[in-house]
């Protein structure tokens, strides 16, 4: 059993998925950390506390603003509640340094980070004036923007550096401390995660489509889904998941939960993306991945529709006579002129009108010259044909529409005329050969008869007289047979033969034919091997079919190699019945099958044989008369004749 490769093992693929997801999560966190480290300028601080103290000092300004607003509006309980929730204590002083309020448990001796901000209040007549905030009809501003005026309030904020409460100060200290500690290591972690995750990702792409126990690439479960649908679904899932997680994170202050949501967001984006990439890799391996998309199917459907519409318009256009087509084209060009004239408002712009007119005439002139060139090419071809040059063909490359069809018609006419001339010449040669062969075949026995008649007049001995009479009888029978064959081939060729089709059992016809030729086959040293399919019957004339079989059996007895077998097979072939004769020739068949079918041609290529050379021609004509086909083939010394007759159907 073939050992499964690593790319075919399920556990390897699952492990690669998990490692790729984890690496994506680590890489995202490392990139965020590196960006934050650069943005916070952590590389300029030697101690993390310096970075933390700077940021939480800025955060304390907002708390001071709230203290001023709460105390000024008489909402001390809100200020006290804020102090209880934060890692900070607050004390409010007036512009002269007198204490107005302080949070419960305020102690100057505790190890706190002291922060102080000055504020002033600007009374305004309308709500929403510029400043750091507004309440009612006054605005609280940071006093340091105006050094000439004394502050109205001073807020002292003391941050507890132990950060025992889980508030914004603690979260900032933890995050900034982590960023400062990882400001250099983040790059190494990101690089390692990128390498490992990239390796797992490439492995998944290579493993896509490979399964244990299966050769080649195997389709996945989601491969039948159109790729553009899969792409849209994946993108929608990632966008919706990230949006929901972002909305949840905005309203959550718990650091652990925020980190959890960040990890979930990364995984929600990474896992579908990896699945989409592996599906794309599998489709690329399978080939023609673009065909399994809705866009491709719609475009293909649109193209087929446009092509069908174009063909319909072209068919209608071709059906119109050329004169009317030219008229339609002139009308179309005229309407196009009017459209351009009014669309580009050329009525009062002579320069643009002349440019458009020149371009149009240039195009029309080129089209007219092209039509004239096509017409000239066809004219030359017609003149060549009229001069008798039938070998010259019209080059239809570059011709279009009716001109191309006319050029193809000229080529067809030339081919047809060449074929007709060749057929006529062949017919003339056949007539000449027929006259020559008939004269030779009639002259031989006739001369022999005349000579032996003269010998009989010389009063030969009784023994010689009997010998001469035997020769006269044989030669007269040969002359009679030749005359009968000539009459029969003439009738068969002209169709002047009575044809009475009926149901004929092929097995019975072959049995009778082989039975009557039994002695001749035995004398020729041939063993007939007959194979007939059960129920074989033909719709043909029994007498004509017998004549065909008679000629084929006679041909075998004359020209087949003694001591061989004559194979006769009959079996249905489509709607017809095929009867085949196969035998080995006694003499080398150094002649083609086409020449064997010609009249007065014998297989031994000699004029001294007993046959007339008309048997195969008669068989072919009689077979065609019954609606069948007659073919012969030669393969070395193997001679094969096939008779195809209409099959009888109940």
* Calpha distance 172→40 (Å, rounded): 12
Query: In the structure, what pLDDT confidence band is assigned to residue 438 with cuts at 50, 70 and 90?
Result: low
Dist CA 237 CA 242 (whole Å): 8
How far from 331 is each of 93, 320, 324, 326, 327, CA to CA, in Å? 94, 15, 10, 9, 6
Looking at residue 636, its pLDDT comes to 80
At CA 387, angle to CA 386 and CA 389, rounded to 5?
A: 100
Please check whether residue 286 lies inside any domain of the structure. Answer: no
pLDDT given for residue 129 in this prediction: 42
Is residue 567, in this structure, part of any structural domain at all? yes
Over residues 93-98, the mean pLDDT reads 82
pLDDT in tens, 19-75: 998 998 888 888 888 888 888 788 887 777 777 887 788 788 888 888 888 888 888
The dihedral through the CA atoms of 25, 27, 30, 32 has a sign that is: negative
* Helix/strand/coil percentages in the chain, nearest 5: 60, 15, 25
Same domain flag for 190 and 333: no
Is 148 domain-assigned? Answer: yes
- pLDDT at position 376 is 74
Q: Are residues 146 and 25 in the same domain?
A: yes
Contact present, 269 and 242 (Cβ < 8 Å): yes
Radius of gyration of the chain (CA): 54
> Residue 357 sits in which domain range?
320-381
Residue 525 placed within a domain: yes
Residue with tokens 């010689």, as numbered in its chain: 464
- Is residue 552 situated within a structural domain? yes
**Cα 286 from Cα 281, distance rounded (Å):** 9
Give strand pairing partners of 153. Answer: 94, 119
> Is residue 156 over pLDDT 50?
yes
Residue at 31 is within a domain: yes
Longest CA–CA span in the chain (Å) reads 182
Six token digits for residue 560? 């087949």
Is the pLDDT confidence value at 608 over 50? no
Residue with more model confidence, 146 or 206: 206
In the numeric block, the tokens 């599906």 are attached to 279
Residues 6+ apart with CB under 8 A from 464: 455
Average pLDDT over residues 299-317: 84
Confidence check: pLDDT of 195 > 90: yes
577 against 361, higher pLDDT: 577
Per the domain annotation, does 221 fall within a domain?
no
Enumerate residues 6+ apart whose C-beta is below 8 A from 195: none
- For residue 288, name the pLDDT band (cuts at 50, 70, 90): confident
Looking at residue 491, its pLDDT comes to 61
Average pLDDT over residues 582-609: 62
Distance CA 506, CA 628 (A): 15
pLDDT digits 0-9 by tens, 321-341: 666 766 777 777 777 776 766
> Residue 367 has what pLDDT?
73
With a pLDDT cut of 70, the percent of the chain lying above it is 72
Average pLDDT over residues 290-298: 88
SS3 letters across 580-592: EEEEEECCCCCCC
* Domain-embedded: residue 273: no
Per the CB < 8 A criterion, the answer to whether 208 and 223 are in contact is no
Q: Which two tokens stand for residue 4?
A: 């499964």
Residues in the chain: 650
Structure tokens at 182: 């990882």
User: Of 207, 238, 271, which residue is a domain's last?
Assistant: 207
pLDDT-derived band at 130 (thresholds 50, 70, 90) equals very low
Would you say 100 and 116 are in contact if contact means Cβ atoms under 8 Å apart?
no
What are the Cα distances from residue 16, in Å, to 13, 275, 276, 300?
5, 12, 15, 38
Domain end call among 328, 351, 381: 381
Cβ atoms within 10 A of the Cβ of 416, count?
11
- Residue 574, Cβ density class (10 Å: 0-12 exposed, 13-18 middle, ≥19 buried): exposed
Task: Report the phi/psi class of residue 273: left, alpha or beta, with left for phi > 0 and alpha for psi in -120 to 50.
Answer: alpha
161 CB-contact burial (10 Å; exposed 0-12 / middle 13-18 / buried 19+): middle
What pLDDT, on the 0 to 100 scale, is given for residue 301?
A: 92
- Work out whether the CA dihedral 398, 404, 408, 411 comes out positive or negative: negative
Average pLDDT value for residue range 134-140: 54
What is the distance between the alpha carbons of residues 207 and 211, in angstroms, rounded to a whole number?
Answer: 8
State residue 439's pLDDT score: 64
Q: What is the model's pLDDT at position 607?
A: 37
Cα torsion 97, 103, 105, 107: sign: negative
So what's the pLDDT on residue 352?
67
Q: Are residues 34 and 163 in the same domain?
A: yes
Q: Which of 525, 612, 535 is nearest to 561 (CA)?
A: 525
Whether the CB-CB separation of 53 and 113 falls below 8 Å is answered with yes
**Contact in structure between 646 and 628 (CB atoms under 8 Å):** yes
Number of domains in the chain: 3
249-253, 313-317, 429-433, 465-469: which has the highest mean pLDDT?
Answer: 465-469
pLDDT tens per residue across span 505-551: 888 888 888 888 888 888 889 999 999 888 888 888 888 888 888 88
Q: What CATH number is given to the structural domain containing 577?
A: 3.30.565.10
Would you state the structure tokens that stand for residue 258, as one six-digit string? 């925020």
324 and 191 in a single domain? The answer is no
Top mean-pLDDT range of 121-125, 343-347, 598-602: 343-347
Same domain for 169 and 34?
Answer: yes
Against a cut of 0.75, is the pTM above it? no
Q: Is the dihedral of CA 144, 149, 152, 154 positive or negative?
A: positive
| Conformation bin of residue 211: beta by default, left when phi > 0, alpha when psi is -120 to 50 | beta
Please give the backbone phi and psi of residue 405, each rounded to the nearest 5 degrees, phi first.
Answer: -65, -35
Write the DSSP string, 211-255: -TT--S----TTTTS-HHHHHHHHHHHHHHHHHHHHHHHHT---H
Confidence band (pLDDT; 50, 70, 90) for 602?
very low
Least confident of 262-276, 309-323, 464-478, 607-621: 607-621
**CA–CA dist 165, 335 (Å, integer):** 84
The residue out of 207, 228, 262 marking a domain boundary is 207
């Amino acid at each position: 059993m073939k050992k499964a490769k690593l790319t075919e093992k399920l556990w390897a693929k699952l492990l690669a998925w998990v490692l790729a997801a984890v690496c994506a999560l680590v890489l995202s966190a490392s990139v965020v950390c590196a960006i934050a480290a650069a943005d916070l300028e952590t590389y300029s601080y030697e101690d993390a506390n310096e970075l933390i103290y700077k940021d939480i000092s800025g955060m304390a300004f907002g708390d001071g603003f709230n203290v001023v607003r709460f105390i000024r509006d008489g909402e001390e309980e809100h200020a006290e509640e804020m102090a209880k929730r934060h890692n900070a204590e607050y004390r409010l002083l007036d512009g002269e340094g007198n204490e107005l309020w302080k949070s419960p448990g305020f102690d100057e001796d505790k190890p706190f980070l002291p922060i102080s901000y000055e504020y002033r209040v600007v009374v305004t007549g309308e709500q929403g004036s510029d400043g750091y905030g507004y309440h009612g009809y006054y605005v609280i501003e940071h006093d340091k923007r105006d050094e000439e005026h004394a502050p109205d309030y001073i807020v002292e904020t003391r941050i507890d550096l132990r950060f025992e409460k889980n508030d914004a100060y603690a979260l900032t200290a933890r995050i900034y401390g982590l960023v400062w500690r990882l400001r250099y290591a983040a790059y190494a972690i990101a690089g390692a995660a990128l390498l490992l995750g990239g390796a797992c990702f490439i492995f998944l792409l290579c493993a896509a489509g490979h399964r244990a126990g299966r050769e080649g690439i195997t389709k996945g479960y989601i491969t039948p889904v159109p790729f553009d649908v899969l792409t849209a679904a994946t993108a929608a899932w990632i966008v919706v998941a990230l949006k929901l997680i972002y909305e949840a994170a905005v309203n959550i202050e718990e650091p652990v939960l925020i980190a959890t949501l960040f990890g979930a967001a990364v995984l929600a984006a990474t896992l579908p993306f990896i699945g989409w990439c592996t599906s794309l890799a599998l489709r690329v391996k399978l080939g023609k991945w673009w065909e399994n998309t809705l866009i491709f199917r719609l475009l293909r459907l649109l193209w087929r529709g446009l092509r069908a519409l174009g063909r319909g318009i072209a068919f209608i256009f071709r059906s119109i006579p050329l004169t009317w087509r030219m008229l339609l084209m002139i009308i179309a060009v005229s309407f196009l002129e009017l459209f351009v004239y009014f669309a580009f408002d050329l009525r009062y712009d002579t320069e643009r009108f002349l440019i458009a007119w020149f371009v149009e005439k240039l195009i029309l002139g080129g089209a007219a010259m092209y039509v004239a060139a096509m017409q000239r090419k066809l004219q030359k071809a017609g003149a060549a044909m009229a001069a008798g040059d039938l070998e010259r063909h019209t080059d239809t490359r570059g011709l279009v529409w009716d001109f191309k069809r006319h050029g193809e018609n000229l080529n067809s006419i030339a081919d047809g005329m060449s074929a007709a001339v060749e057929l006529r010449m062949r017919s003339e040669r056949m007539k000449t050969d027929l006259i020559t062969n008939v004269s030779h075949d009639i002259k031989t026995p006739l001369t022999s008869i005349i000579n032996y008649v003269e010998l009989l007049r010389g009063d030969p001995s009784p023994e010689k007289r009997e010998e001469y009479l035997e020769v006269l009888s044989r030669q007269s029978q040969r002359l009679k047979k030749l005359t009968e064959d000539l009459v029969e081939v003439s009738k068969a060729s002209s169709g002047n033969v009575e044809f009475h089709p009926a149901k004929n059992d092929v097995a019975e016809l072959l049995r009778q034919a082989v039975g009557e030729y039994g002695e001749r086959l035995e004398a020729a040293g041939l063993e007939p091997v007959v194979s007939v399919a059960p129920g074989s019957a033909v719709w043909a004339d029994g007498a004509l079919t017998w004549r065909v079989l008679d000629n084929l059996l006679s041909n075998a007895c004359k020209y087949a190699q003694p001591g061989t077998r004559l194979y006769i097979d009959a079996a249905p072939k489509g709607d017809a019945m095929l009867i085949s004769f196969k035998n080995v020739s006694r003499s080398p068949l150094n002649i083609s099958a086409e020449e064997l079918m010609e009249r007065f041609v014998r297989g031994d290529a000699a004029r001294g044989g007993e046959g007339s050379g008309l048997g195969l021609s008669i068989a072919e004509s009689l077979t065609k008369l019954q609606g069948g086909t007659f073919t012969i083939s030669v393969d070395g010394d193997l001679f094969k004749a096939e008779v195809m007759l209409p099959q009888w159907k109940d």
